[in-house]
Amino acid sequence: MKKIIVVTGASSGMGVCFAKQLAVENPDELWIVARRKDRLEDLKKEIELENKTSVRVVDMDISGAEGARRLDSVFLEEKSRGDFAISVLVNNAGFGTYGEFANTDVNREMEMVDLDCTSLTGITGFALPYMKKGGRIINTASLASFMPLGNFAVYGACKAYVLSFSIALAAELKPKGINVTALCPGPVSTEFANVASNGARPKVRHGLSPEKTVEHAIKASRKGRLYSMRFLKWKIQAWASPYVNRYLGAWFTFKYCKRPSN
């Protein structure tokens, strides 16, 4: 049976790291999914040059319910050619927005919910029929999922959904032998801040290594662990979050943790 690994959000940041590092598992095909075809083609060449893995570029907008259905149509097309199994699904596609909610573009905020929550949910549901015992799902949540954050309200809420969904899904899929891991990183050196701030903050402040973050997530996934937080300070923040009043946490971050946006 054909073995496939699927990575969404594979055109940049941690998505690129996931694609490169999972290629060593030697699937029959590695599907890299994102909108930016030129970047995917460059990544395909790089991976195939270094590995025996065949890489398939899936360039499409997977945002929202319609986006998830677009990827499902690719699954159905593959099924028509013969049986296949998704050995690893990485739901990494997503973005955030900086700034006070009242001052941000509400359409952009809704687009974030569509991609970070609706798309992830739909793609997971459409992929599950092709997953078997030993299969793994990695969902990119965030350290922001543990507490409401001012100036980051919708993103934190979206990632809280991803974390809650991942934990419940892990419980449901354990009897089937499918592991679910929630990746909950703090600041990582990617283009996240540039997108979230519309260019006002070109780089993530105090960003840590995306390669090490992804490496830890893959190892955690292989071991069947529920959470992945590579660095000690992230683990301490997650551990401490239940002891902080949620409203006070949101007020404090709104007051003192300003996030610029154009």
Q: What are the residue numbers of the active site? A: 155
Which amino acid is it at 181? T
User: Angle 153-173/120-127 helices, nearest 10 degrees?
Assistant: 20
The sign one gets for the Cα dihedral 159, 160, 164, 167 is: positive
Distance from C-alpha of 214 to C-alpha of 24, rounded to nearest angstrom = 14
β-pair type (2-8, 84-91)? parallel
φ/ψ (deg, to 5) at 121: -65, -50
Q: Are 47 and 55 in contact (CB under 8 A)?
A: yes
Instruction: Please name the residues in contact with 249: beta carbons below 8 A apart, sequence gap of 6 or more.
Output: 147, 148, 149, 241
Paired strand residues for 27: none
Contacts of the segment 37-40: beta carbons below 8 A, 24+ positions apart: 39/11, 39/12, 40/10, 40/11
- The tokens for 147 are 């507490």
